[in-house]
Amino acid sequence: MKNFKQGDAQQMEKLAAVPSNWRILNLNRAMRFHRHIHGPNAPGFFTNRRLSGAIIIKHTLREHERAMFETPPIVATKVLVPLDDTALSTGAVSFFVGERAYPSIMRQSFGITTVGRGRERDAIILGKLDDTPSLELFLLRELVGGAEYGIASDYFQVSLLEDTAIKSYITRELAPLIGIAINNASPSKVSRFVDSIFGTEIGPQAADFFQSLGLPPASWNNVVFAWKAALFYETQFAGTQRRFDQMIADLTELRTYGHNELYPRSFTEHHLECLRGFANRSYQRSTDSAQLFNSARRASIIESGNLLELTTYLQQLPENVRGFGGYSAVIDHILSYWQYRTRGLDRARMPAEIFCSVAADICAMETQFKVDRWPDADMRRA
């Protein structure tokens, strides 16, 4: 466990202001918001009050950090716990989930048992956060949002309407679908519907739509959350596609040098084949799952004008989007690690030893992360 020094306080305050995303789960920001709304005794994400103010990060391990693990992962789950969650300038303590000292840190600092039959709820949740490739709230709601974990639903509320570009995309994509279910779906009616369904909470204007489809009220929250996730992921994935195309172009142009007995050309070519295979499999999984809910799928429903097909689409959204969220996060880790490790290098001409090290690290991610519906047969190919 590391104690942050005063010089780290500024960085800590910057992190505390960042909204949660696929790499960062900012519980400190969420907790302060919930306490402002519900009072100082508002329930936390964790049972332990100090952990509930943490900032959790998917962190690429540096070389000096790998020695902290028996079997070091490529991407670790880092937990930053403020010394005082109301005064971040005092700094924080940090540790990695699964590092050698993790059981003693959790026991001595937070009174939490992490192993054996006495393993506690907070340790189980941290374990699930460590297993998943993404800390996106859309995915975490499926992992730990159930009744068995008792996390307040407020922690999983997401609004997409603050970003005008996303709201414009949502309105454009949804207007034809709304028209299938609701007669005379005027632009003003569509706008009210978008505000009603894609804000922080479901508004009353959405009820007519769901009732017209025959969806039971008990399913509305899950459908709405998945619909938000689908549209959010679509707006983000175009950038991922461009980065993926660039990485594949890098690998196509790549030539290695400095081959020797430890790194013969055949060994390097094997690593190149493994890296291409893992990257392409991960990308294919993402695109295959996206086809189940993306704009092309919606266009076919709009063309048919079939109310039953629209209902089926919405009922299947939670499962389809959950798979995509995990797959796309793995792609993001691959791309981020490739850019991180090859920064400053000539990607067209690379030393064989460096390339093999980078490729082996990336391919190790295929067995590190637990992704929903990840095909077991594929996981061992790399």
**The pLDDT of residue 381:** 38
With vertex at residue 55, the alpha carbon angle to CA 54 and CA 56, rounded to the nearest 5 degrees, is 110
Please list, residue by residue across 333-344, b when 16 or more beta carbons sit within 10 angstroms of its beta carbon and e when fewer do. Answer: bbbebbeebbee
- Residues 31-70 have pLDDT tens digits of 888 888 888 888 899 999 999 999 999 999 999 999 999 9
Looking at the domain assignment, is residue 203 inside a domain? no
**The pLDDT of residue 221:** 84
Average pLDDT rounded to a whole number, residues 13-33: 88
**The pLDDT of residue 254:** 96
**The pLDDT of residue 362:** 96
Average pLDDT rounded to a whole number, residues 140-162: 87
- Reduce the DSSP state of residue 140 to 3 states and report it: helix
Helix (H) or strand (E) holding 316: helix 307-342
Determine phi and psi for 24, rounding to 5 degrees: -130, 125
Last residue of a domain, one of 136, 156, 176: 156
Same domain, 130 and 240: no
Name the one residue in this structure whose structure tokens are 């809910």.
293
Tell which wins on pLDDT, 72 or 182: 72
Q: Output the CA–CA distances (angstroms, integers) from residue 225 to 138, 183, 197, 298, 314, in the order listed.
A: 7, 25, 9, 17, 11
Same domain, 229 and 150: no
Residue 249: pLDDT band (50, 70, 90) is very high
**To the nearest whole number, what is the mean pLDDT of the chain?**
87
Looking at the domain assignment, is residue 177 inside a domain? no
Structure tokens at 290: 């996206």
With 70 as the cut, is the pLDDT of residue 380 above it?
no
Tell which wins on pLDDT, 264 or 191: 264
Q: What domain range includes position 264? A: 217-379
Last residue of a domain, one of 108, 133, 156: 156
Looking at the domain assignment, is residue 166 inside a domain? no
With 70 as the cut, is the pLDDT of residue 4 above it?
no
Determine phi and psi for 378, rounding to 5 degrees: -80, -25
Query: Please, which residues have CB within 8 angstroms of residue 304's CB and are 6 or more apart in sequence?
Result: none
Q: State the total domains in the chain.
A: 2
- Residues 295-308 have pLDDT tens digits of 899 899 888 888 89
Running DSSP on this structure, what letter comes out for residue 367? H
With 80 as the cut, is the pLDDT of residue 337 above it?
yes
Same domain, 144 and 243: no
Average pLDDT rounded to a whole number, residues 158-184: 79
Looking at the domain assignment, is residue 199 inside a domain? no
Same domain, 19 and 123: yes
268-271, Cβ contacts within 8 angstroms, sequence gap of 24 or more: 268/352, 268/355, 268/356, 271/355, 271/356, 271/359, 271/360, 271/363
Q: Output the CA–CA distances (angstroms, integers) from residue 1 to 65, 98, 379, in the order listed.
A: 11, 12, 32
Determine phi and psi for 165, rounding to 5 degrees: -65, -45
**The pLDDT of residue 379:** 40
Residue 8: pLDDT band (50, 70, 90) is low
Closest CA to 352 of 213, 254, 273, 277: 254
**The pLDDT of residue 6:** 54
Looking at the domain assignment, is residue 181 inside a domain? no
Looking at the domain assignment, is residue 178 inside a domain? no
Q: Output the CA–CA distances (angstroms, integers) from residue 203 to 174, 190, 224, in the order listed.
A: 16, 13, 11
Residue 375: pLDDT band (50, 70, 90) is low
With 50 as the cut, is the pLDDT of residue 3 above it?
yes
Residue 184: pLDDT band (50, 70, 90) is low
Same domain, 148 and 229: no
Looking at the domain assignment, is residue 39 inside a domain? yes
**The pLDDT of residue 5:** 56
Last residue of a domain, one of 105, 135, 156: 156
- Reduce the DSSP state of residue 165 to 3 states and report it: helix
Same domain, 247 and 151: no
Which region among 223-227, 312-316, 378-382 has the lowest average model confidence (pLDDT)? 378-382
- Residues 203-223 have pLDDT tens digits of 777 777 888 888 888 888 888
With 90 as the cut, is the pLDDT of residue 133 above it?
yes
What percent of the chain has a predicted confidence (pLDDT) above 70?
93
Alpha helices in 73-163 (DSSP H): 102-110, 121-131, 137-144
Residue 345: pLDDT band (50, 70, 90) is very high
Same domain, 250 and 350: yes
Q: How many CB atoms lie within 10 A of CB 146?
A: 10
CA gap 28, 18 in Å, rounded: 10
Which region among 77-86, 103-112, 272-281 has the lowest average model confidence (pLDDT)? 77-86
Average pLDDT rounded to a whole number, residues 282-310: 90
**The pLDDT of residue 372:** 58
With 60 as the cut, is the pLDDT of residue 361 above it?
yes
Looking at the domain assignment, is residue 192 inside a domain? no
Same domain, 252 and 127: no
With 60 as the cut, is the pLDDT of residue 373 above it?
no
Same domain, 98 and 227: no
Same domain, 262 and 372: yes
